[in-house]
């Protein structure tokens, strides 16, 4: 894929429409409780300003579903953005009004205009071209820095690229694309995928794509039990998707045909039910009591995974190894996070739960790259082409 990046283009004297992800959490008083998403786009915005461009910034916030919802206004973002950039931000209470377009056209180099929530219009999520034409009316250049919505064919993500003459990815988007490309499409081998989480059904397409690309897949979490059942093991009350046992067998067969390692846990931590403060036991995978459920991988599994992780030169991780939200069942996930953090491999972590497990284990800064988006990252793992990235392909 030949995506153009912001540092490949000239923004001097240009008005640059930046699709950002300013979908920040707000408290009841309208204050931003976490501004990481705003901070993540600052390098892109600074680059444009430092190189003589003007900025029209736009984002969605929440799910107003095509209606004007005052609690989902981007006005608090304008204030915070001004503090972070150290300059006044113009804010307009609409994204396609005549006033918004006029203000965009009047921008001088170094100035920033923030538009109101894109999703106050239903046309945004419908990828409406007439709407995109108004959004882009004052822009010479379109920069997408909203990786988190790049799996959505929305007007400010896809249709706008058909109406603004020059389009490219911002620095945040560039990092996401390049790290994923390096890990999955041009990896140093062995490439090892660590996959966990609750169910096989949520990760089927991911697994099918992975067995085509990786050298080893390490499986943990609830999903392991459907595979173990497919191998004829008794798994007690563990999470099993009976209707997917056949599919699990097919995935195992594909992995075998490809000659890749597909490693399932060989022991697990079990309990009578999923709650904290109850007795637990570590058992071999062949000895799960009929009245117990597997809620974490055990120490022997961690050791087996450790051997493969330490040989890996590239690691991709998505999904916890157990119910890491409950102390008793968190050890396997945190130990695997430690192993990934300690390895010399290039490591990419994505998906909401794995990222929070990584943070909780204190390893956030010890991996090569942490993806900022759950849904878009998963679709890349599924081998899909994301409309918001394809649209930047030159």
List residues with catalytic annotation: 37, 199, 352, 375
**Distant-in-sequence, close-in-space partners of 359: CB < 8 Å, separation ≥ 6:** none
Q: How far is the CB of 295 from ligand AMP (least distance, A)?
A: 5
**Can you tell me which of 295, 308, 336, 355 binds ligand AMP, judged by CB under 6 A?**
295
Q: How far is the CB of 233 from ligand AMP (least distance, A)?
A: 14
- Is residue 267 a contact point for ligand AMP (CB under 6 A)? no
Exposed/middle/buried for residue 326 (C-beta within 10 Å: 0-12, 13-18, 19+)? middle
Which stretch in 84-92, 107-115, 179-187, 315-323 sits in contact with ligand AMP by CB under 6 A?
A: 315-323
**Can you tell me which of 64, 170, 320, 387 binds ligand AMP, judged by CB under 6 A?**
320
- Is residue 200 a contact point for ligand AMP (CB under 6 A)? no
Query: What's the farthest any 2 CA atoms get from each other in the chain?
Result: 72
Closest CB to ligand AMP among 85 and 198? 198
**Where do the DSSP E strands lie in 254-344?**
261-263, 267-271, 281-284, 293-297, 314-318
- Is residue 302 a contact point for ligand AMP (CB under 6 A)? no
Q: How far is the CB of 199 from ligand AMP (least distance, A)?
A: 6
- Residue whose entry in the numeric block shows the structure tokens 């994204």: 95
Closest CB to ligand AMP among 48 and 251? 251
- Is residue 197 a contact point for ligand AMP (CB under 6 A)? yes
- Distance set, CA 371 to CA 211, 234, 342, 348 (Å): 21, 36, 19, 7
Which residues sit opposite 352 in a β-bridge?
none
8 Å CB contact between 264 and 321: no
- Mutual angle of helices 36-50 and 75-85, in 10-degree steps: 60
- Is residue 353 a contact point for ligand AMP (CB under 6 A)? yes
- Is residue 207 a contact point for ligand AMP (CB under 6 A)? no
Q: How far is the CB of 359 from ligand AMP (least distance, A)?
A: 14
Which residues sit opposite 144 in a β-bridge?
19, 169
**Can you tell me which of 104, 294, 298, 388 binds ligand AMP, judged by CB under 6 A?**
294
Taking the CA of residue 70 as centre, how many other CA atoms within 13 Å lie in the half-sphere pointing to its CB?
A: 2
DSSP string, 29-82: TS-BS--HHHHHHHHHHHHHHHTT-EEEEE---S--TTS--GGG-SHHHHHHHH
- Is residue 221 a contact point for ligand AMP (CB under 6 A)? yes
8 Å CB contact between 373 and 176: yes
Structure tokens given for 184? 């999955």
Which stretch in 80-88, 92-100, 168-176, 191-199 sits in contact with ligand AMP by CB under 6 A?
A: 191-199
Q: How many residues contact ligand AMP, by CB under 6 A?
A: 16
Q: Which of residues 323-352 bind ligand AMP (CB under 6 A)?
A: 323, 325, 351
- Is residue 322 a contact point for ligand AMP (CB under 6 A)? yes
Cα separation, 129 vs 126, in Å, equals 9
Q: Computed over its alpha carbons, how large is the radius of gyration of the chain?
A: 23
- Is residue 265 a contact point for ligand AMP (CB under 6 A)? no
Q: How far is the CB of 302 from ligand AMP (least distance, A)?
A: 14
Q: How far is the CB of 194 from ligand AMP (least distance, A)?
A: 12
Closest CB to ligand AMP among 127 and 318? 318
Determine the residue with CB nearest ligand AMP: 197
Count other C-beta atoms under 10 Å from residue 285's C-beta: 22
Q: How far is the CB of 377 from ligand AMP (least distance, A)?
A: 12
The residue ranges that bind ligand AMP (CB under 6 A) are: 197-199, 202, 221-222, 239, 294-295, 319-320, 322-323, 325, 351, 353
């Amino acid at each position: 894929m030949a995506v153009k990046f912001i540092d490949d283009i000239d923004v001097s004297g240009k008005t640059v429409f930046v699709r950002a992800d300013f979908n920040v959490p707000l408290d009841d008083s309208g204050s931003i409780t976490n501004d990481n998403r705003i901070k993540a786009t600052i390098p892109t915005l600074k680059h444009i300003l430092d190189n003589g461009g003007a900025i029209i910034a736009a984002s969605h916030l929440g799910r107003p579903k095509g209606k004007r919802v005052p609690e989902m206004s981007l006005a608090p973002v304008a204030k915070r953005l001004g503090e972070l950039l150290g300059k006044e931000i113009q804010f307009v209470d609409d994204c396609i009004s005549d006033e918004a377009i006029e203000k965009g056209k009047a921008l001088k180099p170094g100035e920033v205009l923030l538009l109101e929530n894109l999703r106050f219009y239903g046309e945004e999520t419908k990828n409406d071209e007439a709407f995109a034409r108004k959004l882009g009316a004052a822009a010479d250049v379109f920069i997408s820095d909203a990786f988190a919505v790049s799996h959505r064919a929305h007007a400010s993500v896809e249709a706008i690229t058909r109406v603004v003459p020059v389009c490219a990815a911002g620095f945040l988007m560039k990092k996401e694309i390049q790290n994923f490309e390096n890990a999955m499409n041009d990896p140093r081998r062995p490439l090892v995928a660590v996959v966990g989480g609750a169910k096989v059904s949520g990760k089927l397409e991911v697994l099918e794509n992975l067995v085509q690309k990786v050298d080893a897949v390490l499986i943990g979490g609830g999903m392991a039990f459907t595979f173990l059942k497919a191998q004829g093991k008794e798994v007690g009350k563990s999470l099993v998707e009976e209707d997917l046992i056949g599919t699990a067998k097919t995935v195992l067969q594909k992995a075998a045909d490809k000659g890749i390692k597909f490693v399932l846990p060989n022991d697990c931590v079990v309990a009578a039910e999923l709650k904290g403060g109850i007795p637990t036991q570590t058992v071999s995978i062949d000895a799960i009591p009929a009245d117990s459920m597997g809620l974490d991988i055990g120490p022997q599994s961690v050791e087996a995974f450790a051997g493969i992780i330490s040989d890996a030169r590239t690691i991709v991780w998505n999904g916890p190894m157990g119910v890491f939200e409950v102390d008793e069942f968190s050890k396997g996930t945190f130990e695997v996070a430690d192993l990934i953090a300690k390895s010399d491999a290039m490591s990419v972590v994505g998906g909401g739960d794995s990222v929070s497990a990584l943070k909780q284990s204190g390893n956030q800064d010890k991996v090569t790259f942490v993806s900022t988006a759950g849904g878009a990252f998963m679709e890349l793992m599924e081998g899909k082409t994301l409309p918001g990235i394809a649209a930047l392909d030159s």
